Structure 1
Amino acid sequence: MRLISQFILASGLLLSALFTTTANAKETFTFTAIPDQDETQLKERFGKIATYLSEKTGIEVNYIPVKSYSAAVTAFRNNQVQLAWFGGLSGVKARNLVPDSKAIAQGYEDQFFVTYFIAHQSTGLQSSEAFPQTIAGKRFTFGSKGSTSGRLMPEFYIREHLKKAPNTAFSEVGFSGDHSRTIALVQAGSYEVGAVNFKVWEKELSQGKIDTNKVKVIWQTPTYPDYQWTIRGDVDTEYGQGLTAKITEALLNMTDKALLDSFPRTKFVPASNEDYAPIKTTAQSIGLMD
């Protein structure tokens, strides 16, 4: 009788623990993305990704938009989102703020990312393999202040080749906020030269949104690692063991061409925090990170 009572008690404790774990697991998993294009395009793209992840993981997954790169990092730090599609710099910053968070996947192309320098036709600047020294003194626009491809890497090469900070190298410096707007501003002549994510340029070019009689690519940077999916280190504790692995598997096994084209990427491949060490070093070298 005593053994039976002990068995019932142990079983009850086990069921109680399992129930508590299930009850404590959050029901809605939320992610965001840096706003590198206009909000309409982002909502369309990531709404479909939320549906895909929900189907693959068996839990409700929601996408929430943010207004800036820094807001994406803040939302990740505050656990308002548990997963984010970051650029190289924003991902490094976010992982520094959240213990045990990690990069889990990147686009195949993100291993060899480049920035395009673009110029309005009135400058007379032509495409060249050499850094365009004659951009000095012109009106120049970056993208977002927190963008890897739209600010960090182009500023690094500007400092390296012109031997000056942007605010002294150019007659005017702007920050457009996103890559689509950078293209629009240079195409309109509001700025003479700008730095833009090559993927956004190629996508908008294919969609007929760019008039190459008004704006052209004049130089591209050497390659560097950029965008990646980063997940918080406490996801399995908060949402149930194995969810990090499920999310990772779903991203790496994404084969739907429409989903991949919306990024645009050909596929996702494994990523690690160590892959982005060069981004951190570069940010520290020009004073964008401590």
Structure 2
Amino acid sequence: MFPLSRVIISAALLLTVSLMVQAETFTFTAIPDADASRLQERFDKVADYLSAELGVEVKYIPVKSYAAAITAFRNNQVQLAWFGGLSGVQARRLVVNSEAIAQGYEDQLFKTYFIAHHSTGMTAAETFPLGIEGKTFTFGSKGSTSGRLMPEFHIREQFKMAPEQAFARVGYSGDHSRTIAQVQAGAYQVGAVNYQVWETELASGKIDPTKVSVIWSTPTYPDYQWTIRGDVDARYGGNFKQRVTQALLNMSDPNLLASFPRQSFLPASNQDYAPIENTAQAIGLLD
């Protein structure tokens, strides 16, 4: 028989290991599509909400770029991510069994605004603005669905050439807020921007409509979604993926939803983003 002291020590060690497993932090990130301070405020609230719903510590980890968000997900530095359509497709191709689990109500029918500096003389139109050819043009991040993938797709469709051939100069601002700022300042004549970032900044008074305005809106497409790694059940306990999914779908606090902004979250699947994957392949953005 084992001495009583050894049994007690073994039991204590087992309890310690059990508590460590229970206390393991669940981490998530998000593509940096807007001002960093705004993202930190938004996703710290999400972390607090998920912590309460899941009964584990949840931490938001900011990243500097879309590529960094994908890398963090691939390397298991984060287990959940708020991706755009393209970045989600890219991440899921790198992590076996990862899944899109929830999308915003608005993400079913997302769109991109083309915006122009007032000096161009261009105004809102129902059809693609052919007058942008030969002007200076800025996308957002190179990995952005709304700020690069979809606008580039439409540019190629209309002009039958790459953006670098269609425009006098092409830039990549890095995020939608900077795209708006650069076009408003006249650094670029035309740009492509996430329609929700535009509407949010317009409502908050950050946009001067006498200097920059929307000249065209793309047809709708699927965009942002929450994507989770396929190994979370093994790491955090059975049914954890479903618990995370349900917590996201149950998010109902108006203040929390408004920070996205989304009216609610709905179930999502990898198949929902097949149109994004097909478009990315068609213009050479996927290997």
Match of 2:259 in 1: 262
Match of 2:108 in 1: 111
Query: Among 79, 83, 90, which residue is 1:82 paired with?
Result: 79
Match of 2:162 in 1: 165
Q: Give the deviation of 1:267 after TM superposition.
A: 0.4
For normalisation by structure 1, the TM-score amounts to 0.92
Query: Among 278, 281, 285, which residue is 2:278 paired with?
Result: 281
- C-alpha contact (below 8 Å) 2:22/2:56 kept by paired residues: no
Q: Structure 1 pair 21/275, CA: closer, same or farther in 2 (3 Å)?
A: farther
- C-alpha contact (below 8 Å) 1:26/1:238 kept by paired residues: no
Match of 1:239 in 2: 236
Q: Give the deviation of 1:243 after TM superposition.
A: 1.5
Match of 2:6 in 1: none
For normalisation by structure 2, the TM-score amounts to 0.93
Query: Among 130, 134, 137, which residue is 1:133 paired with?
Result: 130
- C-alpha contact (below 8 Å) 2:233/2:241 kept by paired residues: yes
Letter in 2 for 1:141: T
Q: State whether structure 2 residue 54 is matched by structure 1 residue 33.
A: no
Match of 2:62 in 1: 65
Q: Give the deviation of 1:26 after TM superposition.
A: 6.1
- C-alpha contact (below 8 Å) 1:185/1:191 kept by paired residues: yes
- C-alpha contact (below 8 Å) 1:109/1:266 kept by paired residues: yes
- Alpha-carbon RMSD: 1.5
Q: Give every structure 1 segment of 4 or more consecutive aligned residues whose post-TM-superposition deviation is greater than 6 Å.
A: 16-22
- C-alpha contact (below 8 Å) 2:137/2:169 kept by paired residues: yes
- C-alpha contact (below 8 Å) 2:23/2:56 kept by paired residues: no
Unaligned residue ranges in structure 2 (runs of 5+): 1-12
CA deviations over 1:96-152 (Å, ceiling 9, x no partner): 110110000000000000000000000000100110001000000000000000000
Q: Give the deviation of 1:24 after TM superposition.
A: 4.6
The share of aligned pairs that are identical, in percent, is 69
Q: Give the deviation of 1:246 after TM superposition.
A: 1.3
Q: How many residues align?
A: 275
Q: Give the deviation of 1:164 after TM superposition.
A: 1.2
* Aligned-partner SS, 1:201: helix
Cα distance in 1 for residues equivalent to 2:114 and 2:234: 44
Unaligned residue ranges in structure 1 (runs of 5+): 1-15
* Aligned positions of 1:199-238 closer than 5 A: 199-238=196-235
* Aligned-partner SS, 1:284: helix
* Aligned-partner SS, 2:235: helix
Q: Structure 1 pair 35/143, CA: closer, same or farther in 2 (3 Å)?
A: same
Match of 2:8 in 1: none
Letter in 2 for 1:195: A
Q: Structure 1 pair 124/249, CA: closer, same or farther in 2 (3 Å)?
A: same
